[in-house]
């Protein structure tokens, strides 16, 4: 996997990252969500490393893709793989950028019970009505991924980069595109869901991390499996 070759360097502040990371280059002009002195990255694109003596067009395509991404307002970090044969472009955004894109894409978000519950398209001037994933966290991990994908592929008149990621991968301009793992949430799900047999599934947490489609799938799977238990008893008898 591409992530296995990722070379990670830690530092205690964004300034130190920019100054001492060596091959790591962070666009500190648009900071994303900081957690304990480090950015919480949400998404990653990989690029095959282009040799310096490669045709100019190959360098031009890479630069145009990265420029288009930066123009959306996303925060970017470029680093190299351990084998120095791939470039990793990590992505996140500041809260105002997330809000702007969520409103542009009409992201359906869960509303708080006191405001009627259910789902509604996100609006910045009504953001206090939306539930979020916790104190001070407006967007869940799954919603952040959706927003970044919109920023990458959405139309330019809505603030997107209008990139065809699938085509870029097919043309081998991009290696892979994948969401990055949120360690605390992932650890919680492993302990309280993946390894928690005979417990009620925490579908709300599954939805927050993976999105509603995955949560609905596992909700149905759990329901189906429970009823098969009774059918199995009848079969044994």
**DSSP one-letter code for 54:** S
| All residues at 6 or more sequence positions from 169 whose CB lies less than 8 Å from its CB, including other chains | 175, 176, 177
Domain extent listing, the chain: 2-92+143-180, 186-236
Question: 40: which 2 tokens?
Answer: 């919480």
For the record, the structure tokens of 232 come out as 């199995």
> Residue 235 half-sphere exposure, CB side, CA atoms within 13 Å?
6
Count of residues in the chain: 237
Among the listed residues 90, 91, 128, 94, the one whose alpha carbon sits nearest the alpha carbon of residue 109: 128
* 237 residues of the chain, pLDDT tens digit each: 333 333 333 333 333 333 333 333 333 333 344 333 456 899 999 998 877 777 767 667 888 999 999 999 999 999 988 888 899 999 999 999 999 999 999 999 989 989 988 889 999 999 999 987 566 678 888 899 999 999 999 999 999 999 999 999 998 889 999 998 777 788 888 888 888 888 889 888 888 788 788 889 999 998 888 888 888 887 786
């Amino acid at each position: 996997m591409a992530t296995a070759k990722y070379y990670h360097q830690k530092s205690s502040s964004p300034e130190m990252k920019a100054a001492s990371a060596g091959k790591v280059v962070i666009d500190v002009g648009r900071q994303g969500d900081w957690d304990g002195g480090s950015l919480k990255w949400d998404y990653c694109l990989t690029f095959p490393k282009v040799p310096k003596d490669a045709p100019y067009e190959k360098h031009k395509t890479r630069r145009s893709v990265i420029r288009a991404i930066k123009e959306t307002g996303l925060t970017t970090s470029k680093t190299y793989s351990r084998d120095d044969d791939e470039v990793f472009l990590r992505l996140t955004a500041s809260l105002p950028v997330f809000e702007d894109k969520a409103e542009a894409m009409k992201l359906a978000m869960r509303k708080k019970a006191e405001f009627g519950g259910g789902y509604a398209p996100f609006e910045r001037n009504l953001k206090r009505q939306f539930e979020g994933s916790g104190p001070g966290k407006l967007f869940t991990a799954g919603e952040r991924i959706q927003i970044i994908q919109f920023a990458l592929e959405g139309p330019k008149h809505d603030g997107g980069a209008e990139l065809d990621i699938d085509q870029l991968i097919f043309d081998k301009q991009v290696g892979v595109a994948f969401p990055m793992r949120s360690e605390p949430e992932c650890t919680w799900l492993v302990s309280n869901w993946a390894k928690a047999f005979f417990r009620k599934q925490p579908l709300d947490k599954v939805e927050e991390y993976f999105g509603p489609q995955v949560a609905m799938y596992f909700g149905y799977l759990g329901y189906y499996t429970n009823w098969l238990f009774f059918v199995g008893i009848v079969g044994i008898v």
